[in-house]
């Protein structure tokens, strides 16, 4: 970052303007929303790409404080080409270094600067599974007066099939999924087959790691939604879901 533009001043400027701010050499410039992109929690930087002359970017975010009476506040995240990401909290005198990755909150700044983001170790199949479970619970809540869902109706909701499929076949299809995050993102960036809730242009702007975390951040917790389904579905249907979601070798061990 340019010596004359400190992380603190960059972050405070972003908070005062409530938008993205870039450190361009020895001055700060505000970045307006990119044309054609929708509003997003990470502000107007989504879809923006800065040249090498920009040393760092800052943008405001809402934050939830732990162990504090004031539970909501505004902070600024500062992402630099040469140093660790920082959090600027107006109530603190010094910036705080981000020790752990914050997922999309930091990914956005890195993509604005044209920097690669960390690889995501979670498999794309996990995203498809939670998307499936979320769809099941939505249908179950709507169809409850008509009677409980059966396995045939549940299995056809999975993105990997459009017809009834046995639990073990669905499990094998999931475990053999040849789709990596690179192929997943390429498909989502195609306007002919967009991922639900993802603008194809944004999928193209992200890289594989940031795209993965973007998808994961928009989905509910898998374990929580599975437990909710146990209260809504017939045990036999839930047994099929458990079998379909079982990790490699787990379903066999249950029979030993």
Taking 90 as the threshold, does the pLDDT of residue 208 lie above it?
A: yes
Q: Which residue has the tokens 């929690």?
A: 41
What SS3 state is found at 116?
coil
Domain count, the chain: 2
Question: Rounded distance, CA 185 to CA 204, Å?
Answer: 7
Do 156 and 229 lie in one domain? The reply is yes
Contact 203, 185 (CB under 8 A): yes
Who contacts 153 (Cβ-Cβ below 8 Å, separation ≥6)?
139
H-type alpha helices, 89-199: 104-112, 124-143, 151-155, 167-175, 181-188
* The last residue of a domain, from among 50, 79, 112: 112
Which of the residue ranges 63-72, 89-98, 170-179 has the most confident prediction, judged by mean pLDDT?
170-179
CB-count exposure of residue 178 (10 Å: 0-12, 13-18, 19+):
exposed
pLDDT in the model for residue 33: 64
Give tens-digit pLDDT for 32-44.
766 655 556 666 7
Do 143 and 84 lie in one domain? The reply is no
DSSP state of 45: G
| Structural domain boundaries, residue 105 | 7-112
pLDDT in the model for residue 1: 47
């Amino acid at each position: 970052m340019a010596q004359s533009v400190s992380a603190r001043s960059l972050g405070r400027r972003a908070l005062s303007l409530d938008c993205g701010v870039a450190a361009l050499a020895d001055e700060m410039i505000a970045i307006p929303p990119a044309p054609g992109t929708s509003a997003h929690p990470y502000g107007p930087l989504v879809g923006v790409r800065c040249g090498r002359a920009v040393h760092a970017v800052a943008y405001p975010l809402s934050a939830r404080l732990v162990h504090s009476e004031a539970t909501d506040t505004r902070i600024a995240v500062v992402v630099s080409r040469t140093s660790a990401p920082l959090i600027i909290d107006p109530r603190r005198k010094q910036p705080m270094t981000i020790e752990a990755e914050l997922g999309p909150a930091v990914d956005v700044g890195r993509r604005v600067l044209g920097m690669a983001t960390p690889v995501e170790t979670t498999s794309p199949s996990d995203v498809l599974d939670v998307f499936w479970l979320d769809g099941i619970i939505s249908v179950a809540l709507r169809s409850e007066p008509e009677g409980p869902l059966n396995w045939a109706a549940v299995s056809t909701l999975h993105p990997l099939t459009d017809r009834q499929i046995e639990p073990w076949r669905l499990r094998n299809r999931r475990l053999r999924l040849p789709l990596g995050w690179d192929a997943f993102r390429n498909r989502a960036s195609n306007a002919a087959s967009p991922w639900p809730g993802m603008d194809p242009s944004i999928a193209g702007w992200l890289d594989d790691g940031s795209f993965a975390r973007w998808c994961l951040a928009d989905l509910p917790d898998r374990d929580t939604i599975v437990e909710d389904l146990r209260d809504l579905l017939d045990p036999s249907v839930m047994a099929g879901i458990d079998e379909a979601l079982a990790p490699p070798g787990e379903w066999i061990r249950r029979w030993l």
